[in-house]
Structure 1
Amino acid sequence: MNRKRFLALLLVVAVVAAYSARVYAVNKGVAKEYSIESFAVGDEISLGDAVLTVEDVRFGEETEEQHGQEWIQCTVTMELENTSEEAISKVKAIETKLAYGRDVYQTNQGDFDINALLNMEPGKQEKIELTYEVKVEDRQGQGKLYIVQDLYPELVEKAYKQGKRYGMAVEF
């Protein structure tokens, strides 16, 4: 009887050890801390091969009611400049997210030239104006514009190798 108990216990320990080793192997490259670098409106943000500047954040005058909630337009104006020696694509800039607390907004509305963003020549500057529909009460809060990580993959990779998850946000 002792021999059966010993073998059963040995089997359980082996299964737990194998499971633990697998969990460790899967999670060993996962970032252990988060680092969001904050900028202010007007700051030049280096994306490696480009510079992004959020120039203005403004709210519209008219509100619209949908589903028992009042909404207002928030327009974010940015300038993107190619600082590299070759043509680049920074079309992902239009996927930038606007957040107020737990409310996160995305848009595909605004004034921008998608073809120019797909093929930005060296030294070229492009204006991007994104229009978000946000809750009226968010106008009074502290907003953040989260810049898409696809715009600065080298910086994300560098931080990842140091065990950090890296992001950039503009506070207003």
Structure 2
Amino acid sequence: MKRKTMILLIVVILAFIGWGIRVYFVNDGIAKKYEIKTYKAGEIVPFDKATFQVNNVQYGKAENNNGYKSIPVSIDMEVKNTSDKNVSLINIIETKLTYGGNYLQTNEGNFDAEELQDLPPNSTVNFTLLYHVPLQYKGKKGKLYIDQSFYRKQVDAKYKKGKRYGISIAL
């Protein structure tokens, strides 16, 4: 009886050690630290093939749309193609506006999707995104978080150093 118990105990210990080794190798090389580079509105943000800038932020008056009370926040932005080829910057309209852990996205605003999909070299496009921010965030400053696909080289370089990287703009 003791022999069977001892063999079972050894098998369980070996399985646990094997599991621990597997977990170590799966997680080896994974970025464990976070770095969010925060720019201020008006600063030029470098991307791999473009630059980005928030030119203006306007807060409107409270609205009530079918029981949803919100404040319209209009953000004027600019992107410039700094490469020598046409680039697609259409995903810029998916920029997230955040207040703490609350992420807001929009498809409203003043932008030309076709122009953003095929922006010629050295061209600049100005556009506006309109977000509907819940009243609880009235008077608070949000942040814009930019899709990492625009600055993939920076993300990859930081990842090799063990960091996850992102860019935000404080409004």
- With structure 2 as the length reference, what TM-score do the two structures score? 0.93
Tell me how far 1:4 sits from its aligned partner. 2.3
User: How do 1:1-172 and structure 2 match up within 5 A?
Assistant: 1-67=1-67, 69-172=68-171
* Separation in structure 2 between the aligned mates of residue 99 and residue 37 of structure 1, nearest angstrom: 15
- The answer to whether the 8 Å contact 2:73/2:132 transfers is yes
Moved more, 4-13 or 156-165: 4-13
1:118-162 CA-partner distances (Å, limit 9, x unpaired): 111110111121000111231311211111112111111111111
Report the AA paired with residue 15 of structure 2: V
Identity in percent: 35
SS in 2 for 1:71: strand
* Separation in structure 2 between the aligned mates of residue 82 and residue 16 of structure 1, nearest angstrom: 53
1:76-129 CA-partner distances (Å, limit 9, x unpaired): 111000111111111110000001122221001111111111111110111121
Report the AA paired with residue 9 of structure 2: L
- The answer to whether the 8 Å contact 2:63/2:69 transfers is yes
- The answer to whether the 8 Å contact 1:144/1:169 transfers is yes
Structure 2: gaps (5+ residues) = none
SS in 2 for 1:92: helix
- The answer to whether the 8 Å contact 1:63/1:136 transfers is no
- With structure 1 as the length reference, what TM-score do the two structures score? 0.92
Structure 1: gaps (5+ residues) = none
In the comparison of the two structures, how many residue pairs are matched? 171
Report the AA paired with residue 16 of structure 1: F
Report the AA paired with residue 131 of structure 1: L
SS in 1 for 2:23: helix
1:7-45 CA-partner distances (Å, limit 9, x unpaired): 212201111011112212222232201100000010000
Report the AA paired with residue 104 of structure 2: Y
Report the AA paired with residue 133 of structure 1: H
- The answer to whether the 8 Å contact 2:62/2:135 transfers is no
Tell me how far 1:66 sits from its aligned partner. 4.2
Evaluate the alpha carbon distance shift between residue 4 and residue 62 of structure 1 in structure 2; reply closer, same or farther with a 3 A threshold: closer
